[in-house]
């Protein structure tokens, strides 16, 4: 009998609001690729709150995720979301990356393995059901670091970067969450420019280092929007997917429905999407906020070639 294939997971790493949902949706349209959404949030938003899958069904009623839960765990009822929340709080944090990377057999390392085992079960089930390369757009680099310890996983990383000023501006805006139920978390979280600057640096630095452990490419949001065809091809090459991406044009992409379990509200949008760089921050961001973010993120802004791009 043929041994089971190890799941191949393309993990989109970086800080939120860096264009990961757009990239995930673009990849999801390619034959041989299945996008799962932000699997990191499945345990709370899917299992506990039963929020909407991108297909429009509540998570626990979605046929795809029901099949994944059956295959992975004999049904989602066998998963303890509180235990997952506990493990997530303990191990899945950017500040824990050095500890995660060390591995070993400490109590912490055992918690990491237990946490990773749940993800591996989900990936295995999704691979068995689809035969596809999977995309996990969780973004959180500490999760990707945890996953590097799973030998059964063929992990590849796309480090998604966006200009810190644009990211800070996006995190300052009010954005509704259509998937919210009972009015809980009806809006996306907002962060101050100072806090988001620290997060931007930390998350990008820990994402950058993933390239030392697993195959990885860096993709700037601005480059993706400028050259979507070449950018998509580069990511698919990393994933080992040779299928053409004919739904991607120089200035637009055609998006269909998916079963993204959690993520940016943009996951509900389908049809032809014009690819226009969101540069709203250049005109709408307060000068003080822009100067603060520019100063606090200066070293990596230069590293990613954003210096002179509107500072």
Instruction: Give the interface with Zn ion as residue ranges (CB under 5 A).
Output: 53, 55, 62, 64, 259
3-state SS assignment for residue 110: helix
3-state secondary structure of 70: helix
Give the bridge partners for 295, in sequence order: none
- Comparing CB distances to Zn ion, the nearer of 48 and 55 is 55
Residue 223: count of CB within 10 angstroms of its CB? 17
Q: Which CB, 62 or 236, lies closer to Zn ion? A: 62
Nearest approach, Cβ of 257 to Zn ion (angstroms)? 8
Q: How far is the CB of 261 from Zn ion (least distance, A)?
A: 8
Residue 61 CB, shortest distance to Zn ion, in Å, is 8
Choose between 54 and 155: whose C-beta lies nearer to Zn ion: 54
Cα 264 to Cα 224: distance, rounded to the nearest angstrom: 18
CB of 126 to Zn ion, least distance (A): 12
Buried b (16+ CB within 10 A) or exposed e, 142-154: bbbbbbbbbeebb
- For Cα atoms 233, 236, 238, give the angle at the middle one, nearest 5 degrees: 115
Nearest residue (CB) to Zn ion, 35 versus 253: 35
Cβ proximity to Zn ion: between 62 and 120 the closer is: 62
Least CB distance to Zn ion at residue 39 (A): 13
Name the one residue in this structure whose structure tokens are 């993990």. 11
Residue 310 Rama label (left phi>0; alpha psi -120 to 50; beta): left
């Amino acid at each position: 009998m043929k041994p089971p294939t190890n799941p191949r997971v393309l993990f989109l790493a970086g800080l939120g609001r860096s264009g990961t949902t757009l990239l995930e949706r673009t990849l999801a349209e390619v034959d041989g690729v299945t996008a799962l959404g932000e699997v990191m949030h499945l345990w709370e938003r899917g299992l506990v709150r039963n929020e909407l899958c991108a297909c429009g069904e509540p998570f626990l009623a979605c046929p795809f995720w029901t099949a994944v839960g059956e295959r992975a765990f004999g049904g989602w009822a066998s998963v303890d979301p509180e235990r997952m929340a506990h493990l997530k709080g303990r191990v899945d944090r950017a500040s824990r990356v050095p500890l995660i990377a060390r591995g070993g057999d400490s109590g912490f390392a055992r918690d990491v393995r237990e946490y990773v085992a749940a993800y591996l079960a989900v990936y295995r089930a999704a691979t068995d059901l689809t035969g596809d390369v999977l995309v996990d757009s969780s973004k959180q680099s500490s999760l990707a670091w945890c996953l590097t310890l799973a030998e059964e996983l063929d992990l590849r990383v796309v480090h998604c970067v966006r200009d810190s000023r644009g990211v800070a501006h996006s995190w300052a805006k009010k954005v509704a969450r259509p998937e919210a139920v009972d009015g809980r978390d009806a809006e996306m979280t907002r962060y101050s420019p100072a806090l988001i600057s620290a997060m931007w640096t930390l998350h990008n630095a820990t994402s950058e280092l993933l390239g030392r452990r697993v195959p990885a490419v860096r993709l700037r949001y601005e480059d993706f929007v400028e050259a979507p065809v070449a950018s998509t091809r580069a990511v698919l090459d990393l994933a080992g997917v040779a299928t053409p991406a004919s739904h991607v044009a120089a200035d637009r992409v055609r998006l269909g429905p998916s079963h993204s379990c959690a993520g940016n509200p943009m996951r509900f949008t389908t049809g032809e999407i014009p690819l226009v760089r969101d540069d709203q921050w250049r005109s709408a961001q307060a000068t003080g906020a822009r100067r603060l973010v520019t100063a606090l993120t200066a070293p990596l802004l230069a590293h990613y070639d954003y210096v002179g791009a509107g500072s």
